[in-house]
Amino acid sequence: MKKRVESPLSEPWIRHFIEQIHSIPLKREVKIDIFLPPDYDASKGPYPLLLLNDGQDSEALKIQETLEILYNDKKIKPFIVVGIYAGDRMQEYGVAGIPDFKKRGELAKQYTRFIIDDLLPYIYYRFSVKLEHGENVLAGYSLGGLSAIDIAWNNPLIFKKAAAFSGAFWWRKRDLN
């Protein structure tokens, strides 16, 4: 049985920091959690990228601890994780351009533009990230998962992979009653 080495929170293996970038389409500052792999070195890159909706839940979901265990057990190869903090998630997440019957998701198109036009160029500039087709992954939970699938589906040259955890696929144009 492999011995698990857990890093103390004061000195984590994973470099984790929070930044803010301005979103022109969303007209707000967007906070992002960035998790760099152990021994991140831009000259050793480029690294695959995982964008994760609902980044505000990274601590509760123990993203850093999970990554450290997986790296320690050699279960994953190095990649960069960016957790995107939601603003008004009921408006920003959804199906771009198609609000549901209760008018939720009215900012989904702007959120997609933020990902494509603001966030990705910032990440590409700031870190050594793979630009090849299929190396970017977008994921999320619930409405964030629906949003991830929609953005990836409509931008196949940027995202070849997407994941939805407990995806909110109940989105619809009309009430079922």
pLDDT over 80 at 173, yes or no: no
Domain architecture of the chain: domains with CATH: 15-165 (3.40.50.1820)
What's the pTM value of the predicted model, to 2 decimals?
A: 0.85
Instruction: Identify the residue whose tokens are 């696929």.
Output: 169
Can you list the positions of beta strands (E) in 2-128?
Answer: 15-23, 28-36, 49-53, 80-84
Q: Are 84 and 29 in contact (CB under 8 A)?
A: no
pLDDT over 60 at 42, yes or no: yes
118-147 per-position pLDDT tens digit = 999 999 999 988 876 667 899 998 888 889
Q: Are 31 and 14 in contact (CB under 8 A)?
A: no
- Residue 83 phi/psi, 5° resolution? -95, 125
Average pLDDT, the chain: 83
62-94 per-position pLDDT tens digit = 999 999 999 889 898 889 999 999 999 888 888
